[in-house]
Structure 1
Amino acid sequence: MKHITNAESPSGARQGRRVVVTGVGAISPLGLGGEALWEGLLEGRCGIRPLAAPEFAGHPVRIAGTVPVDPLDLLPKPQARRMNRAALFAVLAAREAWQDAGFAAEGTTASGLDPERVGVCVGTIIGGAPVLVDGDRRLRDRGVRAVPPLTAPMTVPSQAASQISLDLRVTGEARTVVSACASGTEAIGQAIDRIRYGHVDVALAGGAEAAVTPEIMAAFAAMRALSARNDEPEAASRPFAKDRTGFVNAEGAGLLVLEAEEHALARGARIYCEAAGWGLSADAHHIAAPDPTGGGVAVALRRAIADADGSPADVVHVNAHATATVEGDLAEAAALHTVFGDGEGTVPVPVTALKGNLGHLQGAAGGVEAVAAALTLHHGTIPPTLGCDDLDDAIPLDVVRTVPRPLPGHGDLVLSNSFGFGGHNAVLALRRG
C-alpha cells in the first residue's frame, strides 16, 4: 500500500484515510466491560471504595476507585503471572474491544487479518512500577534470590502494549505513550494517525493503569492533591463543585478498536462513530499545576477541532478532564470559555465529567473516557456528572447533572479532554458515524 504523506489541507485538517471506532472495551471501578461502565454512568453509580488492606492503615487518604473484580481470576494463571496489574487490565479490555468489533477471540489470524497490518498503542504513567517496589521489598527483606526472575520485563511501562500484542497475535506494531494523565488520549491520537497514513489498517488504542498502591497514595497525599473524605467515599470526587477538595486515585483500562473506514465497511462492521481528530499542546508553566489561564488547553481544543475539519459550532458535547482539584477545574473551564464562550455568559456546550463515578484513572483516564464518549455518540445520551451538587460560581459551564441528557441534534463533534502533570494536554475529537 502506498503511504499517504503527512500533509495538512488549507483548512487545517490532515489528509488521509477516514478512521472509525468499531469496538470498545473497558474494565473500571464500575465493573468489567463497557456495558457495566455505561450503565453505571447513566445510573449515577460510584466505584470509589474504602481501602481496607492493612498497608493503607495510617494513611491520610484511604479511598480509591478500585476495580471490583480480581483480574488474576479472569485469565489463565500461567499467563496472568507474567503480567503486571496494569497489563492484566489492558488485556481484558483489549479482548472485549476486539470481540466487540466482530473479530475472533483467538486473534488476528483467526479473524482473517494480516497481523502486520494491525497495531497496538497504549498510554500509561506508572506501568509496572509497583512490581519494582515489590522487588525492592523482597530484596531488602529476604535477599537477592527472593527477587522474581520476571521482575524486569514486568516493570517496563510498555508491558501493557506488548501483552496485548502477544495475546491477540498483533505483529504490526506495539507502541507505548507516557505523557502523564494525557497518556491514554494521546495514544488514541497516535493510533488514528498510524491508520490515516497507511501504516496499519486496524489498531487497539487507549490506556491502562494500576497505581492504587501505598507508595503512590502517600506521594499524592503529600502533594495535598487527593480528596481525604475517607468517611464518605462515594461523595469524595466532586468535579466542578464548589466544595471539591481534590481527586481520587483510581485504576482500570479502556481500549478502542480503530479501523480505516473502507476496511470496516468491506467486512460489514458496526461503526460507533468516526475518530475524527486530535490535538496536543504543552503549558510550559509548572511541574504539576496547570496554567490558570487555560491557554495551553485552549490550543489543544482548537487543534483537535481543526484536525477533525470542524469548527467550535460543530461541537455538541465535551467530556471534561475535571479531576475535582480546585486549580485544574478552573483552568479547564477557562479554556472551554475561551473556545466556546460568548461574552460573559455560560458556555452553551453541555459538559460532563466522569471522575465523580470513577475517580481519576491516571494514564487510563483518557482510554476509559474515550469509550464513554464513543458510547455517548452511539446512544445519543450524555451521562450526568456525579458529585457536582453545587456548581462552583466561577465555572461558567453547562454541566450535565442529576439525570442523563439527550445529545443535541445540531452539530456532530464530541470532545474528550485529558491533561497531565507538567502541562501535557490532549484532546480527542469523535464525530457521529
Structure 2
Amino acid sequence: MANRSGSADLPLHGGRVPAWLADRMAKLGGVICQAIIEQYGRDELLSRLSHPFWFQSFGAVMGMDWHSSGITTSVIGALKRGLQPLERELGLYVCGGRGRHSRKTPDELVSIGDRVGFDGDALARASRLVAKVDSAAVQDGFNLYLHGFIVAADGSWVVIQQGMRDATSTARRYHWKSDGLSDFVDAPHAAIEGENAGEIVNLADHRAGRARSAQVDLLAELGPDGIVDQLIDLMPKKDLPEPAQMTLPHLVMPAHHDIREKDVMMRRLHGALAAAETQAPKDFTELLLVPGIGARTVQSIAQVAEVIHGAPNRFADPARFAMAHGGKDGAPFPVPLKVYDETINVLRYAVVKARLGQTEQMEAIRRLDTQSRQLEKTAKGPGFQDYVAEEWRRSPEYGGRTVFDDAAEPFARVKKTAR
C-alpha cells in the first residue's frame, strides 16, 4: 500500500495568478522538473510531487503565495503548460486541473493512452476512483474542486487533488501515488494535507474493511429506503478515535499572509546565502558567463538547487523558499523579475549542456546545494527583518512586481500592506 507523507493546514485564498507570473512559473517549473529527471529519473519526480512538503516548497520557490491553497492550482497549471511541449521527450503528461478541467481528466487519459500505448481506460477509471474516495469514502467536510493527474509513459502516476471547506475558509490537499498502490479503498493515500477538523468518516482507512463490506450487505438486504429508516432510529454515536492520517507529522500553514521569522529556518537560509557568496566565484565560472547573471541570482539558484537535490526533511519550512523569488502579493517582497528570468536562463543552460554530455554546470548546481548544507552549521547572516528590508529597498533594481501593480499607487500600497 502507498505510504502517507503527512498532512497540512492550508488557508483558502481566492485571487488570480497574473500572466507575467504564470508564464514564468510554467518556465521555471518545467526546467526544475527537467533537472530532477536528468539527475534522478522520472520516478523520483513523481515521488516528490506526491510529497506535500516538497510540493508546497516547489510552489513557494516559483513566487506563488507561500502558504495558501492557491499553490495547488497554480503549480498544477504551471506544470501543465510548462511540460506540454516536452511531454514526448520526458514521457510525462499532466491532465486535469480546476473545475471543468478536472472533469476532462478521464478523456485526456484515454486520448494520451491511445497515442503513447498505456491503458488509458484503466487510468481513466483510476482517476474517477481517486476522486470518489476523497469525495465520498473520506467524508471530512471538504468538497473537491481540483483534480490533477500526472502520468508517465510507463503508466505510473501521481494524483494531486484539493477540496475546500467554506465554513472554516480552509483547504485540504490529497496526494496519491500509483507506486505500491494495491487497493483504492484500503489506505490508498500517499498523503493528505489539511486542517484536523475533528471527527470524520474515513471509509478508505485500512481499519474500515468490515464497515465497507457491511455497507454492501446492508444495501443488498434493506435497500436505500430501508437504510434511511434504520438511521433515523439510531442514537448519536460516541466519539471515535482520531483517524490515523491525522496523527502523522503534518505541515501547519498559518493564516497570516506575511512571512515571519518563526516561519523560516534561518540557519538554512544563511547556509544558502553563504554558499552563494563564498563558493560561487570558484564553482560557477561557466554559469556566470551567462549574460546578466549576478550575485543575487546565485542566491536564488542556491535555493532552487535545494528543491532539485534536497532530501524530504529539508522542506519543513516552505516559507524559506519564498525568499528566492518573493511572492506575487508582496510577501515577503515583490517578485524580482530580472532575477527570476536569470534563474530560468541558468537552469536551462545547465540542462541543455547536460543533455549534450557536458555535466559541469549541473554538477556545480549540485555542489552549491551540498555547500549550503555544510555552511549552515556555522554561517552567520542578516536577521530576517534586515534581509526582507534589503529586498524591498532593491526591489526596483531587480524589477520587483506584485499583483497590485495595475492599481493606483501600486508600489506604495503593497509595501505598506505587506509590512
TM-score strictly above 0.5: no
Structure (1/2) with the larger helix percentage? 2
Q: TM-score, normalised by structure 1?
A: 0.26
Structure showing greater Rg: 2
Q: TM-score, normalised by structure 2?
A: 0.27
